[in-house]
Structures are given as structure tokens and as C-alpha cells.
Amino acid sequence: MKMIKTAVVGAAGYTGGELLRLLVHHPNVDLLWIHSNSQKGKRLEEVHPDLIGDASLSFTDEIDRNNLDLVFLCLPHGQAKPFLEKHAFISDTKIIDLSTDFRDESNGFVYGLPEVNREKIKAAQKIANPGCFATGIQLALAPAIQQNWIKSSLHVTGITGSTGAGKKLSETTHFSQRNQNVSVYKLFTHQHLKEINQTFKQLTPGFDQQILFVPYRGNFSRGIWLTAYFPYEGSLEEAYEAYSKFYQDAAYTYVSKNDIDLKQVVNTNKGLVHLKKEAGQLVIYSAIDNLLKGASGQAVQNMNLAFELGEKTGLQLKSTAF
């Protein structure tokens, strides 16, 4: 069995921790080192207590570029690019970056949304992992964009768990602010809109409709729920047929004719999509786990593709269900 010699840079946060939970149990991964400037010298279970007994690793602030097949970058947005300028890995080392820095596909990176770019990911040396809201919105709307159904502004609302804001405490993430509360942020200006538009133009060159996205902070820890709608003249059956065809080869995106809920996807790498037609509008519900399909799970899915493994390897996870 081929073992992928792997390292994780920035492994102390929510995304890095979730990635470690997947990698320490992945049958094809040999995790050589885990990096953190703030937690150097600490054992894995001191930073991520739930991983006690799962691996004998300690955090380091040193970067060993030797003998690596793959490095994951879980650094804050804006830090991956200067990190790679300072630490040049050999050309044979694949890189999967979970920040926004290379989602424009600059510096030779491929945008890592498997439902759209599977073949490109398989051949890529450098992969830019999509954002969480970006993943959920693209899964909700990509088939409709490809069918060129959208002729006017798109309306999208989405609510995300508190882990989407990262581990560092802020005014809008501490318990007394988040508990029993909902608020809007980055109205119509969310940073993920850039990569969403990039993919939509890839699917339909010339796409120029405005995406009016209202993101909400939710009073729960993880998961993303999205609702999108637009005027639609076709039948619901035609919509389901187009969506089912688009996702027929997708490993983790499922089109459900039954109503969906958020707990179906929490703690899994699944993306669920459900369609309705009301008042002349096609309404799409989309649900993902922001830390898995929206971040670390999708990163492992991309690793599996890039190293010619089964796409679901190491990702057979159980939802919380209730």
C-alpha cells in the first residue's frame, strides 16, 4: 500500500484540527509532522484533546521540506502566499492550500471543487481548496448555471456555525454574543463571491448575473444551510433531472427529493441539495458541514483524487443524525 508522506502547516485551529482528525485515521497517510508557531512543543492531545491516544505527535515551529509527498496549508487568509515564498517545497511535493490566497488559480493552483474540476484535480500539483460558503452555494447552483437558467439577479441566504469564524476569539464568536442570537455580516460583499463567480463563468462563459448573498451568523457550532432562488419556467421534474445528471458521478453530493435538514450533513463530507418550485421560482436548499465538505473533508477528498486513491478513502463518516 502506498503511504503518502504528509505534513500540516497551521494545525492548531479548527480547520487544522479537523484535518488531523481525518489524517491520523487515513489508511494511506503517514503524518510526518504538524506545525504551529503558537503551540510548538505541545503534544497533539494538549491542543486537540479528543485526539488523545490516536497519534504520538508534537507540534513544531520548524519546516522540514525533505521527504514530503504532500503538505496541507491551514494558515489564516493572506498568510499562505508569503509562507510559500519563504519556504519553497520541491516540485514533486503536492500542496493543498485551505486559505483564500490561491483560489483565483494563480501561481499554478487548480481550484479544488471536485464536482466541477475532478479531472484537473487528478493532474494537479497545487490545489486551492474552496471556501465553505463558496462550496455550499456552488453545489446549490452549478447545475442551474450550466443550464443557463438564470437570467436575473440571484438571491441567496446562508447561515453558518461559529467554527466558520476560526478559533481566535472575537466579539461575534464568544458565547454570550452567539448564544440565542442571529446576525448578518458582509451583506452582499462576502469574499467567497469571487471564487463563486469564477466557477460560474467557467460553467457558462459570459455569466454576469449579480449574486445577492446574505450571510448569517448562527447560534450553533458547525454546519451551513443555504437557500437560493430565481425565476424558473420549467417543471420541477426537469430541474431534478438536470441536477441528478450533473451530480451522477459526484462522490459526496446528493440530490434528495425528500426534505433535508442540517444534522444530516454535520460530521460528514456530504453535500445535500433539495429542490422546490413555488411562486414561479426554483428554490434550492443546500447543506454541508463547514469544517468537512466546506474545508478539511474536501481537502482530503482532493488529496485522494490527486494521489489516485478511492475518492471516499478515509472519509466514511457518520452524521450526528439527532
Chain segment 65-87, per-residue pLDDT in tens: 999 999 999 999 999 999 999 99
pLDDT at res. 214: 98
Query: Tens of pLDDT along 273-317?
Result: 999 999 999 999 999 999 999 999 999 999 999 999 999 999 999
- One domain, residues 96 and 210: no
CATH of the domain at 248: 3.30.360.10
The interaxial angle of helices 14-23 and 296-306, nearest 10 deg, is 50
132 is catalytic: yes
- One domain, residues 53 and 182: no
**Closest listed residue to residue 39, CA positions, set 47, 48, 27, 51:** 47
**Closest listed residue to residue 212, CA positions, set 230, 224, 234, 198:** 230
For 6, the enclosing helix (H) or strand (E) is strand 4-9
Q: What is the DSSP letter of 148?
A: T
Query: What stretches in the chain show pLDDT beneath 70?
Result: 165-170
Calpha distance 135→285 (Å, rounded) = 13
Q: Label residue 286 left, alpha or beta by phi (over 0 means left) and psi (-120 to 50 means alpha).
A: beta
- One domain, residues 121 and 230: no
CATH of the domain at 20: 3.40.50.720
Name the residue range of residue 83's domain.
Answer: 4-129+295-306
- One domain, residues 91 and 142: no
Give the active site residue among 116, 132, 211, 306.
132
Q: What are phi and psi of 59, to 5 degrees?
A: -75, 145
All three cell numbers of 170, joined, read 472575537
pLDDT at res. 28: 98
pTM: 0.95
All three cell numbers of 282, joined, read 426554483
Place of cell 510526518: 32
Q: From edge to edge, which strands make up the β-sheet containing 271-278?
A: 183-184, 211-217, 154-160, 224-231, 281-288, 271-278, 253-255
Whether residue 107 is contained in a domain is answered as: yes
pLDDT at res. 322: 80
